[in-house]
Amino acid sequence: MNALQEATLNMQRAVEQHLDANTTTISTVPAFQTAYTALKAHNGEITSAAGIQETPRTGIARDKRTSKRDLCDTTLRISKPTRAFAAATGNDTLRAEVDYAFSDLNRLRDDQIAPRCQIIHDRALENRAALADYGITNEMLADLQTKINSYAAESPKPRTARAARAVKTANLTELFRESKKALKQMDDLIDLFATANAEFVNTYKTLRRIDKPSSTTTRLKGKITNKSNGSPINNAEITIVELTKTAATNSLGNYSIKPIAPGKYTIRVVKAGFTDVEIFDFDVKLGDITTLNVELTGK
């Protein structure tokens, strides 16, 4: 979501809240109420779409790299004893099929590594009885098969995330277009309430103005550290309670949450082994990158 879209959504939310507080008034004009209901639905859809659009993909890629290294390590625990068995028995074909170093496996493309590891697994399985003397067990082979299956399932996720982001960006544009139609209809009808409730009308018109957007998306970021020694805490969870938005820290203890509507929120920080922290009425300002650093105390 860009800065203009964020400012527009903030305006639409403000209008929605004003109308929520005056449902008796707007119910007297059914066409206006229908447009208000449409705007309310679009605001929810925009918030949902923006949340998916802004979801970081680095975590998915990082998880995949970790899974790939784990798969390589597990495969080598099978391939090395199998290679030794092949050398001892003069089976050059088997040796060629399982003779891989970590770097050989790790540089294979995503669509190549799982099939290659599967071949190594299958050749070891075929020689399972003889490989018992080389330390290979049924449990080791089962573990490798599980990791091959898991990696094959996880591999498409970064590409899928990119595709989902592109779709949600397109949907976001369409949702703002539909919201604009609902607002235009309410703009055309708002003066019908002027005689009975001039204050309601004036407030509506004031809220309909879009504040000049900053070039920066409203964001909350910071660093979570161990109070006892200042070291960064990885995988701590930071939650904006009122928005149910959650982010996790990286290995450096850093986190970032966006987009966020400006306002005052309760921020909760949780990490196993540490005492939970809650910060109340924390002010997030429109267009600002607001920093919140938190120190956690070990239990």
Q: Quick one: pLDDT at residue 113?
A: 87
Q: Quick one: pLDDT at residue 299?
A: 84
Give 219-276 pLDDT, tens digit per residue. Answer: 899 999 999 999 999 999 999 988 878 899 999 999 999 877 777 889 999 999 999 9
Q: Quick one: pLDDT at residue 58?
A: 45
Identify the top-confidence range among 90-104, 160-174, 281-295. Answer: 90-104
Dihedral in degrees, nearest 10, Cα atoms 126, 132, 135, 137: 70
Phi-psi region of 224 (alpha: psi -120 to 50; beta: other; left: phi over 0): beta
**What are the CA-CA distances from residue 4 to residues 8, 34, 107, 169, 261 (Å)?**
6, 26, 43, 14, 13
Distance of CA 12 to the CA centre of its chain: 25
Give 83-131 pLDDT, tens digit per residue. Answer: 999 999 999 999 999 998 888 888 887 778 888 999 999 999 999 999 9
The pLDDT of 148-176, averaged and rounded, is: 67
- pLDDT over 90 at 192, yes or no: yes
Give 21-69 pLDDT, tens digit per residue. Answer: 999 999 999 999 999 999 999 988 887 776 644 444 444 445 667 788 8
The pLDDT of 176-200, averaged and rounded, is: 95
- pLDDT over 80 at 165, yes or no: no
β-partners of residue 260 are none
